[in-house]
A and B are shown apart, each in its own frame.
Chain A
Amino acid sequence: MLLLDFRDGRREGPRPTRIKAAYVILLAITLYHAALTFRWLHLPGFYDLAAALFGRIGLAVIQSLGWKG
């Protein structure tokens, strides 16, 4: 299915380079997370970034409301 879409001009005509670049970036992020899942890499992932950005604020808010975990 993935490769079917990449065949340039197969269905909807040729795409701009930025679309192809976005396709490659999305696949690269996917492979990066697959590597994290199989523990081939030990680097921060999608949810680590979210926890770093929003985790402390969220925890502070709900602890102020009496949440004990």
Chain B
Amino acid sequence: MAPTRPPPPPNNIKKRKEAPTDPQTNASKRYKPTDHRQKTRDARTLSTQTSSKAFKNGELDVSAFVKSRAFEISALEEGMARSKKALNRRAFQQVPKELRRRTASHNVKRVPKRLRERGKREMADDNTPTVTARRRKPTAHMRLRLETVKKLRALGAKRKAGMDRVKVTVADPNGAPPTKSTDSAKDKQQPAESTTAIKARTPKIKKSLLATPPVPKAKFRKRQIHKSWLPTHLFHAKRARMTAPSAALWRFSVPLTPTAKSYRPTHRASHERGAVAWDMSYIATVQLEGREGSLIGMLKVLGVAEEELIGRKGEKWRQGRRALENFVYEREAPHDPVAPVTIIWCVSAAEESAGMAGKEKRNRKLLLRVHPSAFYQLWEELLRLAKVAKPAVSVEDLRFDIGSLEITGPGGTEALLSALWPSRTTSEPLAVRDSASTAMDIDSESRNKNTIVEETWSSLAGLTNPAMVPKNALLAFNVQDPRLHHPPRTIKLPKTDAEQHKLLELIASWPVDAAQQPPELFDRKARQAASATMPSQKAVNRRKGLAAPGQYPEPLPKDPQIPVLLYTTAPSTTDKGASGRPPPNSSSWTLLTPWKCMQPIWYSLMYYPLSTGQQPRFGGLDQYRQLSFEAGKAWFPGDFPGTKAGWEWEYAERRKREAEWRRRPKGKRVSFERVEVGEGVRGEIGIGWGCDWERLIGGALVASEGEEAAMNVEKAAESGDKSAENGKTKAQEEPKEPPQQAPSKPPHLTQLSARQALALLATPPATPPATTTVKLPPHIHLPSALTTVRLTLLTRGVPQPCARIYRLPSSTANPELRRQWLALLPTDTHKPTQKRGGKHALPRGLPSTGEIPPHVVQQRLAQSLLEPVRAGEEGYPSCPGEGDLVGFVTAGSYDLAAGFGTGIGSLLVEKVMGREEEAGERHLCVVRNSGTGVARLGRWEVI
């Protein structure tokens, strides 16, 4: 029964024509339109002519001969054309990966211009239905809804008209949002045009209250009930995988990863060529305002180091010329770590005039930027501290007020430069300006002090690594609306040596430090004015239309002045790349700007044609984690399980991995209870799908109930006896729904800073930890203090998240195993990066074919006897026992920057301190991936 032609559609109107089939071969033969193989086979068949047909009654004459040849030529030509067409792809299929859109197959306007004509023809050819949402005939259900909407609109209009008759417009001269009486959105834009304006009381800013997300447009309101969108949500939602609607991350809808493949492209864009940008608006911003003395007191309680607060080291930071990243701690007794926080002081206007005492007294502002997972913890802490502080400090939540983005990669500065046109520059626009001359302007004495920041910014063209400017340097200025200069053009970059030299001189002298005015971003009114005066896209388009062709519209005095604050994030000097060298480019720019101004800036960035080709890429959360992993930096919250936020993250990850594990059939998932974990023990230590810190701290006896039960289920099922079966059915229901909320963090679990950890590790092994000279704060419970480390594997292997970290067995307890592990230690220092052949590979440089002379084989044999054993061979050391378990890997994979597997994890400090170690054996460890029996030798270093 061959499938016959499909039944004709009921209304006899074919939606699509069938693909053009071969006209001359078997016109009667029909096949399903999806039968591509048959289609290509048909297309490739060449038509032939038999000689009896070509030569009538078997006569050979010249004309028949010529005709038969002519037939052959046409048959071959047609065959070639046909087979080419069969292979042909439609216009939208030929688009490069990053330009593909799902909608392109239905709407020819989504296809790049050069393919549009062809696409149009193709769509006409096969009758592709192209409907836009606007012109689609609504379904019956939709029609009902639309009618309801229409009615509601009419009602609303009537109500509004009634209100307008009696309305008194309340205008606010400061550009603050109108008070509650005028709640229509339109009035915010154009207050007081017709009616008499009454001067309104400036609304009191509610301090110490959590900010509410901005009210979204009615169309999008229902989708943001339990979460908020980032300002660039629409951009990302089209191009990236977002968090699931039900599982918002930190109450935001966050892009996780671009839809296009991006692991290697992201690495390349950030390290070699290009740029990667993130919308980091989910990072929370808090403003503190008060006397400098009380602010410093507050910061001190939060755990900011003394030398920063009063010493000379932190002077520039305190003046507001640098940003500072610091870990903050709770005020109460256990002093739990909260989160790393970026602290930025506002430059005070009258600085020189005040003396030391005056400095203490004057009012200052500072911004704290913290990851949203730790925001509430920090917020509570700040409120408590602000109440206690004398004189009082006001705390203001600027979460939905200030948005931010981060951009890294060699092209990042360039892209930012094209997006941010300072408003105050009087000279020609940036794109046509000669950067050499600007550098000269700055050097010259006739410079205008007001525009020095702007000029410095404009002359940073050619900077490929933001780490070159002074570390954590700040730049604050106002910029024009980037939509006026859209689409962006490639800026002029310095080419000659002299220009490069100027740039270097500028960076070295860094004139911004002396000239930075108080950033307007700290000023609520400036922020609101900028947001409120942003013209509509329509108005921008009109202005662009009026401008001369090829020219950008002239700036007007009424244009919004968007306050921006830029700072660089560079790896600290102690940080090094995973392979022991500093990563070539791990620094980035962070841009703070009012929430509502984020979107235009973002679009200008994303469409900037980089001088090295392509455009900046955008990244999701996964890319952010990938790059911080490649730079060897710990990522908050994932790599800080000792904090509350990190603990919750770990719990969420654990649940995710567990669900994944459970989804698989039993035969195809790791059976954790059978894994050999060393010392002849079978069964994974703790929970196989998580970093089981509870077990590590509490020992084997104390285990969390739910998860351990889940693991036991598998064990019981394995044993297979009747009672176990019963137990299984009972126990299986229990772990099915693990608690939604993460269980609270073990009370003493804490995360030590690198400095504390290094000090503890430096204590000589002889002295017990209780009597160390290290001034460890008494509240720290050493048996449950973690520190974040970076791991490199010395032989082979790639650590995965949840991998177990063991210390080497001590020479007293198990000297044999220790010796075996130490024998694996490569003798050369640069061994891990060397090319390692396959398991049984012969050395390189041998003839690949032909006979290998016997002496070479013997040599090789002798060499292999001397070489350390490989995993899987006899004599490969087994994993140390659970007593030597010291920590877990929180992030690990093959590191594209280093060229081998690295990882980031946390260790229990107490278990690794005071070990007898020779110089070569320092910080050695054994890493075993969860669910596997093979362990690898590695080395860790505190970060």
**Does A associate with B in a complex?**
no
